[in-house]
C-alpha cells in the first residue's frame, strides 16, 4: 500500500469510526508485531528510538537524518500508517520545512511537532519543559503545513506548556495551532489527580481531533479504548509499550541465563524460531525464491 494511501486512510479514520489506538515501537520488528496483532496504526517513539539507536535517554540527541532513516525502514516493513515523533522539528521554521520533506519522503503518515525550547527532553521526564514563544511556535506549524507536498500528510501540533504555564495556556496554544492549520492537537499531560478532568477540558475546548499520550499513566492507565474515546480523544498513543515490555523481558531472560546457565526456564515465554520467522515473513521470501531464483 502506498504512503499516500496510508495517509488518506489515517485522515479518514480521524474523521470517523472508533478511536485510533497506536502502540509505540522503536523498530521495524516491533512494528510488524503491532500490525499482526490487528492494530490500525503504529507509533514510532522518539524516546524508544534514542534508547534503541544510542542507548541514551530522550534529551535531544537524535537528529533528523537519524530518525528519518530509521523511520523509513520501519514504515517500509508494514502496511499500516506510521505516526512519528518529530521532536521540535530540529530547529526553526526553515528546518521544519526540511523535516516535513524528509518524513514525507520516508513514507510516514503523520508527525507531531512540539513547542519545546531546544534542547528538548521527553515530555514524561520529571520537571516542566521550557517552551518557545507562541508566535514562533505558530510559525513552525504554518511552515510544516506549507511544506507538505501530500495534503493528506497529517500534521500533529503538540504543546508541552501545561506543566510550566498551566492548562489554560496549553489549551490556548492548541487552539492557535489548529487555526494555523494543524490537523490534530496534542496537549502533553503528566500524571496527576486531575488528569481525566484536564483531558476533558482539552478535548471540549479544542476544535480539532485530539491525541493523548497514554504513557502519562495515573488514572489514564486503566482506561480501555472506548472510555478514552468518550473523553473526546481521536488518537491514543502508547509510546512506552514495546520499550518497557521488551526491556523487562530481556532483563528477566538475562538473569535466568546468568543464574541457570541456560534459558530452559524461559522457553514458554519466548517465541519459537518458527514463530519468530513468521513475524518476519520468511515464507514470503521463500516463495519469492521459488518463483525467481534460477
Separation CA 54–CA 62 (nearest Å): 8
213 is catalytic: yes
What value, to the nearest 5°, has the Cα angle with vertex 234 and ends 231 and 236? 85
45-50: list long-range contacts, CB under 8 Å, 24+ apart. Answer: 45/85, 45/237, 45/239, 45/240, 45/243, 46/85, 46/86, 46/87, 46/122, 47/85, 47/122, 47/124, 47/239, 47/240, 47/243, 48/24, 48/239, 48/240, 48/242, 48/243, 49/85
87 is catalytic: yes
One of 27, 35, 85, 183 is an active-site residue; which one? Answer: 85
Residues 88, 161 contacting (CB under 8 angstroms): no
287 is catalytic: no
85 is catalytic: yes
One of 7, 11, 112, 178 is an active-site residue; which one? Answer: 112
58 is catalytic: yes
Q: Which residue has the cell 507536498?
A: 149
Class of residue 63 by CB neighbours under 10 A (exposed 0-12, middle 13-18, buried 19+): exposed
169 is catalytic: no
Residues 115, 141 contacting (CB under 8 angstroms): no
One of 84, 122, 185, 210 is an active-site residue; which one? Answer: 122
Separation CA 13–CA 256 (nearest Å): 44
Peptide bond preceding 38 in cis form (omega within 30 of 0): no
- The cell numbers describing 294, all together, are 534460477
One of 35, 47, 115, 213 is an active-site residue; which one? Answer: 213
Q: Each residue of 127-146: b (16+ CB within 10 Å) or e?
A: eebebbebeebbbbbbbbbe
102 is catalytic: no
Residue 232: φ, ψ to 5°? 100, 10
One of 32, 70, 121, 158 is an active-site residue; which one? Answer: 158
Residues 127, 79 contacting (CB under 8 angstroms): no
One of 102, 115, 183, 188 is an active-site residue; which one? Answer: 188
One of 26, 43, 90, 238 is an active-site residue; which one? Answer: 43
One of 35, 102, 104, 114 is an active-site residue; which one? Answer: 114
Query: Which residues are catalytically annotated?
Result: 43, 58, 85, 87, 112, 114, 122, 158, 188, 213
Amino acid at each position: 500500500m502506498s504512503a499516500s494511501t496510508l495517509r488518506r486512510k489515517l485522515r479518514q479514520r480521524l474523521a470517523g469510526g472508533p478511536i485510533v489506538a497506536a502502540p509505540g515501537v522503536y523498530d521495524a520488528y516491533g512494528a510488524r508485531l503491532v500490525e499482526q496483532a490487528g492494530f490500525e496504526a503504529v507509533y514510532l517513539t522518539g524516546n524508544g528510538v534514542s534508547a534503541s539507536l544510542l542507548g541514551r535517554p530522550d534529551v535531544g540527541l537524535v537528529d533528523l537524518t537519524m530518525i528519518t532513516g530509521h523511520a523509513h525502514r520501519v514504515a517500509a516493513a508494514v502496511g499500516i500508517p506510521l505516526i512519528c515523533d518529530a521532536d521540535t522539528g530540529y530547529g526553526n521554521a526553515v528546518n521544519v520545512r526540511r523535516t516535513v520533506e524528509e518524513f514525507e519522503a520516508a513514507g510516514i503518515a503523520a508527525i507531531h511537532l512540539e513547542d519545546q525550547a531546544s534542547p528538548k527532553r521527553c515530555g514524561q521526564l520529571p520537571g516542566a519543559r521550557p517552551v518557545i514563544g507562541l508566535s514562533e511556535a505558530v510559525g513552525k506549524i504554518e511552515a510544516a503545513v506549507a511544506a507538505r507536498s501530500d495534503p493528506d500528510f497529517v500534521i500533529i501540533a503538540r504543546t508541552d506548556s501545561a506543566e510550566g504555564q498551566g492548562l489554560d495556556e496549553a489549551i490556548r496554544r492548541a487552539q492557535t495551532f489548529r487555526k494555523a492549520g494543524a490537523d490534530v492537537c496534542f496537549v502533553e499531560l503528566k500524571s496527576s489527580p486531575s488528569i481525566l478532568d484536564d483531558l476533558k477540558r482539552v478535548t471540549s475546548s479544542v476544535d480539532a481531533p485530539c491525541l493523548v499520550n497514554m504513557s502519562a499513566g495515573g488514572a489514564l492507565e486503566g482506561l480501555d479504548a472506548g472510555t478514552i474515546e468518550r473523553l473526546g480523544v481521536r488518537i491514543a498513543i502508547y509510546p512506552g509499550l514495546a520499550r518497557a515490555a521488551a526491556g523487562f523481558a530481556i532483563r528477566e531472560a538475562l538473569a535466568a541465563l546468568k543464574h541457570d546457565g541456560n534459558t530452559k526456564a524461559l522457553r514458554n515465554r519466548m517465541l519459537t524460531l518458527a514463530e519468530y520467522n513468521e513475524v518476519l515473513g520468511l515464507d514470503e521470501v521463500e516463495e519469492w525464491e521459488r518463483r525467481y531464483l534460477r
